[in-house]
Chain A
């Protein structure tokens, strides 16, 4: 049954997975170009100063910042809007599989694709930065970018939750709260701006539970 759910989710996501992978490659190519341009334009010494004191790597790889966000949002919309339009979720709820297993496996599969995209981008960036800068800079830049990647995860879970929620009033309220919550993940513009990432990780880890809550409300017939 899980294989069948994977098959269904793949049908919904396949083009987005390919397009986002393409965008990730373009983003990496752009990042290489930007880094080389700055090194050449500013000179190695100035570039070094900018990278150290102005967090140049965080400021100028702007596509990297928002690509996980776009990916999370796109995947959630593609997976759950078709399920909720015309109450199509009823078809899924009648399948001989428990409600929890159905919801968690659908979200788990979507998240696995998202994670694959994020890991691909993350390691791509690691390579791109590591070619030009020492390990300390690579570490600082990439650790500072982690909240953006977690933000992509957060937007995926929260968008899925909002779409699955059956009441429009609740959707609007959740949407406002979610926008505020997700924006916290995208505040960093300098290295080490966040004291700890654990709170961000914990919040994302708890988010799949919201899916069960919305799914249960739909099942109960909440309007």
Chain B
């Protein structure tokens, strides 16, 4: 069995002269849920488009289930469930028509998954998809992906346009399906609180590069936020890759984001002769860690 479901090496992409991805390396292990996070314009959509096979990278290689993503064979595409941004669907079809259409393409089609989800909507089978709300459409799309029974699910901004109720429903069904069937998921979302509930691993993208690729538990354990008060600190502290990942100054309050322990940071501040008697660690959610890594601006 293949070790990595997705494996990208030295992935580089330009739009004209603009460099969007610079030598990105990425590996996704089988059976895990990966969340890719990044601010707008950091190359998240470009990465997803390359993985989905709709963009050929300028250089580098991206293998999905062992094949180059931009020339996946029909057999491999059968094993990948895609959720396109905005819950794209054939909205000129009805609930029944779209199921009939898709079922012809997938030999392992499991109609029960689709009809179970559709049953919750309380809509007639003849209801046209274009007349549905975004939340209802998301259930149709998720049902179609589940029924396809893919090995790998790539979900591009699944939370887009969904209200909290449908977001929770989506996550509940996804979690149950993925855990039960040992699927691999690669997802993006702007709602980081939801991502935190579902992912095993996080990938955080910065400008043209990966800032971080690690299990969520490791990130939560090893990435810290410390606060103390010192009006002088602004003159001596600066961001560096070794000790300080990010820094914020508000009045005389200093916030340090770092992968170092409290003891190491204290020693570092001592060396700079900066008093920090009131230093303390403030626990972080994934969203706060994300802001800590990427900055607020």
Contact status A91-B92, CB under 8 Å: no
Contact status B89-A91, CB under 8 Å: yes
A residues less than 8 Å from B101 (CB atoms): 4, 7-8
CB contact between A219 and one of B54, B75, B86 (< 8 Å): that residue: B54
CB contact between A91 and one of B56, B84, B100 (< 8 Å): that residue: B84
Contact status A97-B74, CB under 8 Å: yes
A54: Cβ under 8 A from any B Cβ: no
Contact status B88-A96, CB under 8 Å: no
B77: Cβ under 8 A from any A Cβ: yes
A residues less than 8 Å from B105 (CB atoms): 1, 4, 95-97
Contact status B88-A87, CB under 8 Å: yes
Q: Given contacts A11-B92, A91-B89, A219-B54, is CB(A4)–CB(B77) below 8 Å?
A: no
Query: Which residue of chain A has its CB nearest to the CB of B77?
Result: A96
Interface residues on A, range: 20 to 34
**A46 CA to B49 CA, complexed, in Å:** 69
How many B residues, CB 8 Å from partner?
A: 29
CB contact between B92 and one of A7, A82, A98 (< 8 Å): that residue: A82
B262: Cβ under 8 A from any A Cβ: no
B267: Cβ under 8 A from any A Cβ: no
Contact status A88-B90, CB under 8 Å: yes
A residues less than 8 Å from B97 (CB atoms): 7, 11
Contact status A96-B90, CB under 8 Å: no
**Secondary structure at chain A's binding surface: helix, strand, loop or mixed?**
helix
How many Å from the CB of B16 to the closest CB on chain A?
9
How many Å from the CB of B21 to the closest CB on chain A?
13
**Which of B61-108 touch A at CB < 8 Å?**
70, 74-75, 77-78, 80, 82, 84, 86, 88-93, 97, 100-102, 104-106
CB contact between A90 and one of B84, B92, B100, B102 (< 8 Å): that residue: B84
B residues less than 8 Å from A93 (CB atoms): 53-54
Q: Given contacts A90-B54, A220-B56, A221-B54, is CB(A96)–CB(B74) below 8 Å?
A: yes
Contact status B88-A221, CB under 8 Å: no
A residues less than 8 Å from B91 (CB atoms): 82
**A95 CA to B106 CA, complexed, in Å:** 9
B210: Cβ under 8 A from any A Cβ: no
Contact status A221-B86, CB under 8 Å: no
How many Å from the CB of A164 to the closest CB on chain B?
14
B residues less than 8 Å from A223 (CB atoms): 15
Contact status A94-B52, CB under 8 Å: yes
How many Å from the CB of B175 to the closest CB on chain A?
24
B residues less than 8 Å from A94 (CB atoms): 52-53, 77, 80, 82
Residues of A that sit less than 8 Å from B by CB: 1, 3-4, 7-8, 11-12, 82, 86-88, 90-91, 93-98, 219-221, 223
The 3 closest A-B pairs by CB, nearest first: A4-B104, A221-B55, A96-B74
Residues of B that sit less than 8 Å from A by CB: 15, 49, 52-56, 70, 74-75, 77-78, 80, 82, 84, 86, 88-93, 97, 100-102, 104-106
